[in-house]
Amino acid sequence: MPEFLGPFLEVLIGGLLAGILYSLVALGFVLIFKASGVFNFAQGAMVLFAALALVRSIEVLQSWGVNAGLAIVIGFLFSGALMVALAFAVERMVLRPLVNQEGIILFMATIGITFFIDGFGQQIFGSDAYQLDIGIPKESIFLLEGVFEGGILVNELDLWAGATAGLLVLGLALFFQKTRIGRALRAVADDHQAAQSVGIPLNHIWVIVWAVAGIVALVAGTIWGSKLGVQFSIAQIALKALPVLILGGFTSVPGAIIGGLIIGAGEKLAEVYIGLPYFDGGIENWFAYMLALVFLLIRPQGLFGERIIERI
Residues 13-42 interacting with other proteins (rule: CB under 8 A): 14-15, 18, 39
Site string for other proteins, 281-300 (x = CB under 8 A): xxxxxx--xx-xx--xx--x
What lies within 8 Å, CB to CB, of 12 at 6+ separation is 265, 268, 269
For residue 227, count other CB atoms closer than 10 A to its CB.
Answer: 17
Site string for other proteins, 226-265 (x = CB under 8 A): -xxx-xxxx-xx-xx-xx-xx---x---------------
Identify whether the C-beta of residue 219 lies closer than 8 Å to the C-beta of residue 168: yes
Least Å distance between CB 191 and other proteins?
18
* Distance between CA atoms of residues 79 and 225, nearest Å: 14
175 binds other proteins, rule: CB under 8 A: no
Q: Which of residues 61-120 bind other proteins (CB under 8 A)?
A: 93-94, 97-98, 101-105, 107-109, 111-120
Measure CA of the first residue to CA of the last residue in the chain; give whole Å: 59
Q: Which of residues 127-166 bind other proteins (CB under 8 A)?
A: 127-129, 131, 138, 140, 150, 153, 155
Cβ-based nearer residue to other proteins, 205 or 291: 291
Listed as own residue / partner, the contacts of 89-97 with beta carbons closer than 8 Å and 24 or more positions apart are 90/210, 91/203, 91/206, 91/207, 91/210, 95/36, 95/38, 95/203, 95/206, 96/203
- Looking at the DSSP bridge assignments, the partners of residue 154 are 141
Q: Which of residues 263-282 bind other proteins (CB under 8 A)?
A: 267-268, 271-272, 275-276, 279-282
* Distance between CA atoms of residues 182 and 166, nearest Å: 19
Cβ-based nearer residue to other proteins, 10 or 75: 10
User: Total residues at the site for other proteins (CB under 8 A)?
Assistant: 82
Q: Which DSSP category does 129 fall into? A: -
Least Å distance between CB 135 and other proteins?
13
Cβ-based nearer residue to other proteins, 17 or 184: 17
